[in-house]
Amino acid sequence: MRLVFAGTPEVALPALDALIASEKHEVVAVVTRPDAPAGRGRRMVASPVAERAEEAGIEVLKPAKPRDPEFLARLGEIAPDCCPVVAYGALLPKAALEIPAHGWVNLHFSLLPAWRGAAPVQHSVLAGDEMTGASTFQIEEGLDSGPVFGVVTEEVRATDTSGDLLTRLAFAGAGLLEATMDGIENGTLLPVPQPAEGISLAPKITVEDAEIDWTAPALRVDRLVRACTPAPGAWTTFREERLKVVSARPVADRTDLEPGRLAATKKAVYVGTGSHAVELTWVRPQGKKPMLAADWARGVRIAEGERLGA
């Protein structure tokens, strides 16, 4: 099939690479978000998908909005058979959905209908799921509600951050998306409607959502830190300045600390929660680079009774 691939961030690259390398299909163009400011100089930078497509000599389309008439006209001229999508980042209008003969097929990083929305992996980690996966489905105008072509499953490990899990899903999902394109092309794969039960939503996790509540149980604190790593980053406050918690681990045998209260030894930093303590392993003070929590504690000289958070 002639494919137009839609995607923007680095997580979309394994799927794009797989389709470019496919002997059965041809990626004739990619659709991605417009260049955006990045880095300290805030210079305009192309998306990872745009850069990879340009390296491969593939046409790149960067509409400000997918409903732009110029974009729709160009997509009609290209006349793709199908448009595979991975983390494109914009809602597709009906006019765009109707152009490819086999529609738009999204690779979504959850086992639909669980975790429909922008942050499925983060919510899976936050909820303590033991199993998750990726799904390919036919895009329709609803939110991740279209019929499903196929799934792959992936175990959620006890120490997984969202970044760890998303990386594994990106590579497993790339194979699933390529197999889905094969099945659509040869007519052996038909999408199955999603069940009406088991629907859960995964809205974007904001910086405000990522603030640690030290009165919550240690298990909840651990999940929040892992779910918000690498972005937006779990955080708290210390001496009225923001402190990011890069990594932490529950310590079941330490129950002597009140929620938020700090205790530091030469090699470890503990914080009380609503249950048992957690040990901070890496932190990032405001305006500084990540550092070992023990090094941070020695530098700030934690006083007896000091706390994190409000």
**Residue ranges per structural domain of the chain:** 1-184, 205-298
Where the chain has pLDDT below 50, the residues are none
Q: Are 85 and 50 in contact (CB under 8 A)?
A: no
pLDDT at 41: 79
Crossing angle between the packed helical segments 120-127 and 162-186, to the nearest 10 degrees: 130
The annotation places the binding site for (6S)-5,6,7,8-tetrahydrofolate at: 110-113
Exposure of 195 in the CB half-sphere (CA atoms within 13 A) = 8
Architecture of the CATH domain 1-184: 3-Layer(aba) Sandwich (3.40)
CATH number for the domain running over 205-298: 3.10.25.10
Give per-residue pLDDT as tens, 10-69.
999 999 999 999 999 999 999 999 999 887 778 899 999 999 999 999 999 999 999 999
Helix and strand totals (H; E) in the chain: 8, 15
The two domains 1-184 and 205-298 share their CATH topology (first three levels equal) = no
**Chain centroid offset of residue 50 CA:** 19
How many whole angstroms separate alpha carbon 54 and alpha carbon 300?
Answer: 48
CA-closest candidate to residue 20, choices 174, 132, 168: 174
pLDDT at 40: 75
Residue whose structure tokens are 């129950």: 255
Average pLDDT, the chain: 96
pTM of the model: 0.94
How many whole angstroms separate alpha carbon 139 and alpha carbon 145?
Answer: 8
Residue 94's Cβ-count burial label (10 Å; 0-12, 13-18, 19+) is exposed
The annotation places the binding site at: 110-113
Q: What share of the chain is helix, strand, coil (3-state, %, to 5)?
A: 25, 30, 45
